[in-house]
Amino acid sequence: MKKLLSLLALALTLGGLGSSALAQEAAIREAIAKRIPQLKDIDEVRKTDIPGIYEIRVNGTEVYYTDAKGDYLFQGNLFATKGKDLRNLTEERVNKLTAVKFDSLPFKDAFTIVRGNGSRKIAVFEDPNCGYCKRFERDLQKVDNVTIYMFLYPILGADSGEKSKAIWCAKDKGLAWQDWMLREQAAAPAAAMCDVAALGRNVEFGKTYKIQGTPTLIFQDGSRVPGAIDAAQVEKHLVGTKG
C-alpha cells in the first residue's frame, strides 16, 4: 500500500510539473504575442540551460530568448563557457533546425558533374557571380572519384539569375558551368521556352534552410560547410563516405 501511495504521489507531482510547464509556456506566448504582434505565431517555447531563460522559435528557424514572464526579449548568440571549448549554443541549435538529410535534397533541381568513379557525393549551392565560388571550383578540380550535385543559387543580383538561366538551359549544363566558372566563357542566353522554375525553387529551398551565402557545401553525412574550402578540406569531409 505504501508503495502504491508513493507511486500515486509521484504521478501527481509529475503531472503538476507538466501542467506548470504548459502554463509557463502559455504565459510567455500570450505576453509576446500581445506586445510584439509580428511574433504572434510562435512555433515553440522551450527552456534553456540557464534558469529563467527560455528559447522562442518562430518562422521555423528564427531563435530568440526571453525571461519567464516575456518581459524581455533578446536575439543573438548564446555561448556556454563551461568546459574546455567555448560553445555557441545558438549556432548549434540553428544548425540542428536547418539540417538537411543528403538523400532528401531536391536533386531534380540540380545537375551533376562526375569525376572518376563518382562513388563519393557532395551537393554544392553556388552563384555564378560569386568570386569565392570560382576559387572553390578551381580547387574542386583536384578532387577525384566524386559526384557533384550542383544547385544553381542566384542570390547576388539580377545578372546572377540571367547567367544561371543560360547555364541551366545549356545542352551540357556541367560543361557550361565549368566554362563560365573556370574560363569565363559565358553560355548562350536561355531560350524563351526553357523551363527555369528549378532556379526559383532552389532559392526558396535555401531561404527555408538558411543557406545565406555561396558556396555552401552539404556532404553525405549531413555536415554542412559554408564558404570556399580547399581540396584538402573537401577530402577530409569526404573520407569514409560511400556512394
Q: Is 25 helix (H, G, I), strand (E, B) or coil?
A: helix
CA distance 125 to 202: 9
Instruction: For Cα atoms 134, 213, 225, give the angle at the middle one, nearest 5 degrees.
Output: 85
Give Cβ neighbours of residue 241 (< 8 Å, ≥ 6 apart): 120, 121, 219, 220, 221
What is the pLDDT at residue 17? 53
Domain ranges for the chain, please list them: 2-97, 102-238
What is the pLDDT at residue 14? 47
What is the pLDDT at residue 59? 86
Q: Which residue has the cell 509556456?
A: 25
pLDDT less than 50: residues of the chain: 11, 14, 243
CB contact at 8 A, 225 and 219: yes
CA distance 160 to 154: 5
The pTM of the full predicted model, rounded to 2 decimals, is 0.72
What is the pLDDT at residue 240? 57
Among left, alpha and beta (phi > 0; psi -120 to 50; other), residue 75 is beta
Identify the helix (H) or strand (E) that includes residue 120. strand 120-126
CATH number of 2-97: 3.10.450.70
CB contact at 8 A, 32 and 73: yes
For domain 102-238, give the CATH superfamily: Glutaredoxin (3.40.30.10)
Q: Which residue has the cell 504582434?
A: 37
> pLDDT by residue (tens digit) across 45-73?
999 989 999 999 998 888 999 999 999 99
> pLDDT by residue (tens digit) across 190-203?
998 999 999 999 99
Cell numbers that stand for 80 in this block: 556556454
The reply to whether domains 2-97 and 102-238 share a CATH topology is: no
Distance of alpha carbon 237 from its chain centroid, rounded? Answer: 17
Q: Which residue has the cell 510547464?
A: 21
What is the pLDDT at residue 4? 57
